[in-house]
A and B are shown apart, each in its own frame.
Chain A
Amino acid sequence: MVEKVRTVKDVCCPFCGTLCDDLEIDVDLKTDVVVEVRNGCQIGTKKYFSSNPSDHRYTKPLIKENGEHKEVSWEEALDKAADILVNAQRPLLYGFSSTECEAQSKGVVLAEMLNAILDNTASVCHGPSLLAIQDVGASLATLGEIKNRADTIIFWGSNPVHAHPRHLSRYSDFIRGYFRTDGRNDRYIIVVDPRNTHTAQVADKFIQINPSEDYELIQAIRAVLRGSELDVKEVSGVSIDDIKELVEKLKSSNFGVIFFGMGLTQTSAHHRNIDTAIRLVTELNDYTKFILIPMRGHYNVTGANQVFAWNTGYAYSIDFSRGYPRYNPGEFSSVDLLMRDEVDAALIVASDPGSNFPAAAVKNLFKHPLIAIEPHKTPTSAFADVVLPAAIAGIECEGTAYRMDTVPLRLRKVKDAPGECLSDKEILERLIEKVKEKLGE
């Protein structure tokens, strides 16, 4: 029998921070399109299929002329992009979390050359977690440790059934581990959330909390843990009896972990929530082993933080306007800059702020020239002045990505990119050369 497909095994999925590394992809030998994905979740599988040529996949560089995108050569598109960046007073380089580390490091080089702002998507998601970890440190572990040892798992303000679909089956819930030989039966799962999420529906204990009152509940848990009597009947909608029961459960566990998500970082208390959660974990270590892990969203946002940090000293919200890196979330973070209308040109790499920033910030982003390095049509790229079509990292080019627990894994190439697409790294390298020419370096 003649083989019609080739199978690539042990593929790392470039969707969420869980970075599952056991996918198997079948690629049609004749047409070089993905025909089957095994082991992936619904979203990861869709990402592989959507890499196939379609009406929303870019295959050639585009420039906007009279309101319409026009196909041009790479030379022309890069020249226009470099012109925009070199002529800007305060360019913003944003995104980077859905591409590989080598491309991210090229972003740092370009930002420094342009005296630009350099930011990644942590800015609008786990930025507060980074702030808190910088303030008070954190007890962390790898997901392998959790799989093998953890018997008490808390999901606080995160809903992995929807956002990290295979997290529960690979690391934190159903999986059997070295000391957790009976898998799910050996673990006690607690979910803290304002909604009875699908994760809560498979948990042992669901604690329904009032929205945006996480800080108060964590402080109450800390107080009860220290032996204080609280003279109220409930905190944040949770009864004192429930809090006492929870504290006993946490103290009596062998190895506990708090996975926390946007429910803590995107509510009004932001990093103060994480500060106090970290302190709770520190105090629980007086009784037993406890750690916490942020549930990172984009598959390589952790990598973006790592690469930016080892190159500049800072993980996100970096300003090069004085020729050296400065860090100040709130001042140099993308949304705050856009709200003050300080940015006069933007280069967006593997991200869609048009969809994901608050409307008022998007309005200001669209006032100025916009360049998108992007494989698909998105509400950002559709309004970009220059679109540079990218190969998708982890599908059409290799690279390195960091899992949510900061373990680096190698991404595989399973097929060629359609049309004239280039990898993010190559696009940025060619853009750097163009910018150098224009700056006379």
Chain B
Amino acid sequence: MSLNNLILLTGRTISQGVALEGGKASRENVRAAGICTFDADDFKKLDCLVGTPVKVITDYGEVVVYSTITEEGPHPGIIFIPMGPWANQLVNPSSQACGTPQYKGMKSKVEVVKNGKVLGAIELIGRLKEA
């Protein structure tokens, strides 16, 4: 199953804050920030269980994260990934000459990848070193 024409927002969550202080290499960090939250009705269209890995794709990159239903909805058409290594695979690096990249508001699509692997922060960022 897949969904198109979504808008990706990124930002802080308290779990992501706790996890980054508790150890960025930890699985806790993956559970906190390696996730994508969906509007409840949008999630139904994906036809999968909460926690199923999904691939989120924007013009700037793609990443596999765990899916979940938002506690901060309804927000149809909007998906949210907490700030961090996973979200930053997808954001628009262009700052339009003001210095700050566009971390919010990217057009995106989502595909369910049941056997997808959600990488840890160090492994995910490590791929940028090897590339």
Contacts and interface: CB of A to CB of B under 8 A. Distances in A.
Contact of A212 (B26, B98, B105): B105
Interface residues of B, number: 54
Interface of A: 15, 41-43, 46-47, 49-50, 54, 56, 123-125, 127-128, 131, 159, 161-163, 165, 194-198, 200-201, 208, 211-212, 262-263, 265-268, 270-271, 297, 316-317, 329-331, 333, 335-336, 339, 352, 354-363, 366, 376-379, 382-383
B14 A42 contact: yes
Nearest to B83: A356
Interface string B43-64: 0000000000000000011000
Interface of B: 7, 9-14, 17-18, 20-26, 60-61, 70-75, 78, 80, 83-85, 88-89, 91-105, 121-122, 124-126, 128-129, 131
A265 B101 CA distance: 9
B104 A46 contact: no
B76 to A, nearest CB: 10
A63 to B, nearest CB: 17
A159 B12 contact: yes
A160 to B, nearest CB: 10
Contacts of A161: 14
B22 A360 contact: no
A433 to B, nearest CB: 31
8 contacts: A42-B17, A124-B103, A196-B72, A265-B100, A333-B95, A333-B98, A355-B24, A383-B129
Contacts of A201: 72
A360 B85 contact: no
B72 A197 contact: yes
B21 A43 contact: yes
Given A128-B100, A333-B95, A383-B126, A378 B24 contact: yes
B105 A267 contact: yes
Nearest to B71: A198
Nearest to A269: B96
Contact of B24 (A125, A194, A197, A379): A379
Contact of A50 (B11, B14, B23): B23
A13 B84 CA distance: 22
B123 to A, nearest CB: 9
Contacts of B88: 355-359, 362
Given A127-B100, A359-B128, A362-B88, A262 B21 contact: no
A118 B66 CA distance: 37
Contacts of B61: 359-360
B101 to A, nearest CB: 5
B22 A266 contact: no
A54 B83 contact: no
A125 B100 contact: yes
Nearest to B92: A358
Contacts of A376: 23-24
